[in-house]
């Protein structure tokens, strides 16, 4: 009798080949990946066409994990685990660059597909990793590297594969969005809201990578590479963080109907001669309050895409955290495992377009310039003349009286970074200009 019921039970779950998985790292993400792999084993088995089998978890200190994992699954030598014959897919969730790079390359070279959540690694070494995956005929997946479970990579690699992307504007760092949103809401200073973010666990003890924009720059590099079929590395991305944003900047933006967001902007720039180049940049940006990105609050992420045929699309969600990152890793793992069972490969790196990178000085943007000037007749004419001379035309000018000085806020039409730099330098030399306080770029 028991034989019959066993046969029935077994025939319910696909009898395809077992897919061996190694997880490198057992921190917040790695432990969630392992837990969910176990909890959803049957569902994944159906979705893949065969069961996932965890071969081991590589950790630097096995003793630390001996209570959550059986001893035979714990490996202190990641290379030994990767090299096992029964490992088909390696999941890298360690972080850092050099060490995981060595491991991922070893895995790819040994014919294992790789799923990684490591944006810094992908943004620095996509070319080398892609070449290794291509040579071995295996998959390299990295959905979790950009905005966790918001499926930005899948959308760019697959869903929009039949379209031409013009621009991506993303809020892809939760820490800085939390700080800017809190400054906007409370009128408090950057330092106070950074302290608040740290207290609430939204900022790390050393927040440099977030607040200086490096984390967002890695994601910008990955998005630009996918969107424009061109190799863009983190070091190619112009990057400016939020540490200089003041409460006064936020207030001035508010008064003009804007909010300040740290945007990762990836853009196709078409020259007058019809030649395309790619600009990837991260900087504080004024966003109109009625733009969908303006209402992305707290630590949420959102990616706004403009494409030729699809028009304007936005993707919104949790862009970080153990669970959302694990969701993205597991989605990739199911995809990579399906390919191991059924054959076929995910779209690989695509860099055929190989567009030149735009010279940042030539990128056209609109600017918001905030300055203090002497309160006397003729100042505005002087300022306007300097702008005109440098090819910057003004869209609106607002003047506020302040004791003996006046505050002048200029919003410009589109101009190049070069013209702007020249303008600001020249404005600062005018006798009647006391200080040029802030220059912030504007979206669209």
Q: Using the minimum distance from each CB to its own copies, give the nearer residue, 140 or 369.
A: 140
**Backbone dihedral region of 377: left (phi > 0), alpha (psi from -120 to 50 degrees) or beta?**
beta
403 CB burial (10 A radius; 0-12, 13-18, 19+): exposed
Identify each DSSP E strand in 1-127 by its residue range. Answer: 19-24, 52-58, 74-75, 89-92, 113-116
Q: Using the minimum distance from each CB to its own copies, give the nearer residue, 272 or 309.
A: 309
Contacts for 178 with CB less than 8 Å, ≥ 6 apart: 193, 197, 200, 202, 203, 298, 299
**CB 139, min distance to its own copies, A:** 11
Q: 379-389 and 417-429 helices cross at what angle (nearest 10)?
A: 150
The yes or no reply on residue 171 touching its own copies (CB under 8 A) is no
The yes or no reply on residue 16 touching its own copies (CB under 8 A) is no
Binding span for its own copies by CB under 8 A among 195-203, 263-271, 313-321, 416-424: 313-321
Q: What is the DSSP string of 82-110?
A: HH-TT--EEEE---SSHHHHHHHHHHHHT
**CB 358, min distance to its own copies, A:** 19
Query: Any catalytic annotation for residue 340?
Result: no
Binding span for its own copies by CB under 8 A among 78-86, 151-159, 167-175, 272-280: 151-159
CB-based contacts of 340-343 (< 8 A; 24+ apart in sequence): 340/17, 340/19, 340/88, 340/89, 340/113, 341/16, 341/17, 341/19, 341/48, 341/49, 341/50, 342/49
3-state secondary structure (DSSP) of residue 298: coil
The yes or no reply on residue 150 touching its own copies (CB under 8 A) is yes
Residue tagged active-site, from 112, 219, 233, 340: 219
**CB 45, min distance to its own copies, A:** 9
Check: CB of residue 302 under 8 Å from CB of residue 315.
Answer: yes
Give the one residue of 6, 27, 38, 46 binding its own copies; rule: CB under 8 A: 46
Determine how β-strand 276-288 pairs with β-strand 258-270: antiparallel
Q: Using the minimum distance from each CB to its own copies, give the nearer residue, 61 or 297.
A: 297
Binding span for its own copies by CB under 8 A among 183-191, 278-286, 306-314, 380-388: 306-314
**CB 107, min distance to its own copies, A:** 19
**28 belongs to an annotated ligand binding site:** yes
Give the one residue of 175, 176, 339, 416 binding its own copies; rule: CB under 8 A: 339
Q: Using the minimum distance from each CB to its own copies, give the nearer residue, 258 or 367.
A: 258
Phi, psi at residue 174, to the nearest 5°?
Answer: -70, -35
What does DSSP assign to residue 391? T
Residue bearing tokens 């950057």: 190
The yes or no reply on residue 317 touching its own copies (CB under 8 A) is yes
Find, among 190, 170, 422, 143, the residue nearest to 282 by Cα.
Answer: 170
The yes or no reply on residue 149 touching its own copies (CB under 8 A) is yes
Q: x/- contact string, 340-369, with its own copies (CB under 8 A)?
A: --xxxx-x--x-xx----------------
Give the one residue of 41, 97, 106, 310 binding its own copies; rule: CB under 8 A: 310
**200 belongs to an annotated ligand binding site:** no
* Residues with catalytic function: 219
Binding residue numbers for NADPH: 119
Known binding residues are: 24-31, 119, 204
Contact set with its own copies (CB under 8 A): 32, 36, 40, 43-44, 46-47, 143, 148-151, 154-155, 158-164, 229, 292, 295, 307-318, 321, 323-324, 326-335, 338-339, 342-345, 347, 350, 352-353
């Amino acid at each position: 009798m028991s034989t019959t019921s066993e046969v029935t039970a077994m025939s319910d779950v696909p009898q395809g080949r077992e897919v061996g998985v190694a997880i490198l790292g057992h921190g917040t993400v790695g432990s969630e990946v392992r837990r969910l792999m176990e909890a959803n084993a049957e569902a994944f088995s159906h979705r893949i066409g065969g069961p996932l089998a965890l071969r081991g978890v590589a950790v630097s200190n096995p003793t630390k994990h001996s209570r959550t994992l059986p001893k035979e699954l714990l490996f202190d030598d990641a290379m030994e685990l990767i090299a096992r014959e029964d490992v088909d897919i390696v999941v890298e969730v360690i972080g850092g660059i050099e060490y995981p790079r060595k491991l991922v390359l070893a895995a790819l070279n040994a014919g294992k597909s790789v799923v990684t959540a490591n944006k810094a690694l992908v943004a620095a070494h996509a070319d080398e990793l892609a070449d290794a995956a291509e040579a071995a005929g295996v998959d390299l997946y990295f959905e979790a590297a950009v905005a966790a479970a918001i499926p930005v990579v899948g959308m760019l690699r697959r869903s929009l594969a039949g379209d031409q992307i013009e621009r991506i504007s993303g809020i892809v760092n939760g820490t800085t969005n939390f700080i800017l949103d809190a400054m906007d809401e409370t009128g408090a200073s950057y330092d106070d809201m950074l302290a608040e973010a740290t207290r609430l666990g939204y900022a790390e003890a050393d927040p440099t990578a977030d607040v200086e924009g490096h984390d967002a720059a890695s994601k910008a590099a990955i998005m630009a590479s996918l969107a424009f079929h061109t190799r863009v590395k983190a070091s190619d991305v112009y990057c400016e963080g939020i540490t200089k944003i003041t409460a006064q900047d936020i207030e001035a933006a508010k008064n003009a109907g804007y909010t300040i967001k740290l945007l990762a902007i990836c853009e196709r720039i078409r020259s007058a001669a019809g030649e395309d180049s790619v600009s990837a940049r991260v900087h504080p940006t004024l966003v109109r309050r009625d733009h969908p990105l303006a209402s992305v609050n707290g630590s949420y992420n959102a990616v706004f895409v403009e494409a030729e045929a699809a028009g304007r699309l936005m993707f919104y969600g949790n862009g970080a955290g153990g669970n959302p990152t694990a969701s993205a890793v597991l989605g990739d793992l199911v995809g990579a495992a399906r390919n191991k069972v059924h054959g076929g490969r995910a779209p690989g790196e695509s860099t055929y377009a190989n567009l030149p990178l735009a010279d940042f000085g030539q990128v056209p943007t609109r600017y918001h310039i905030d300055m203090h000037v002497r309160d006397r007749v003729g100042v505005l004419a002087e300022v306007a003349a300097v702008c005109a001379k440098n090819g910057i035309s003004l869209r609106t000018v607002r003047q506020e009286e302040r004791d003996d000085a006046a505050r002048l806020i200029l919003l410009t039409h589109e101009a190049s970074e070069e013209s702007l730099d020249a303008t600001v330098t020249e404005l600062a030399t005018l006798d009647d200009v006391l200080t040029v306080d802030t220059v912030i770029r504007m979206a669209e």
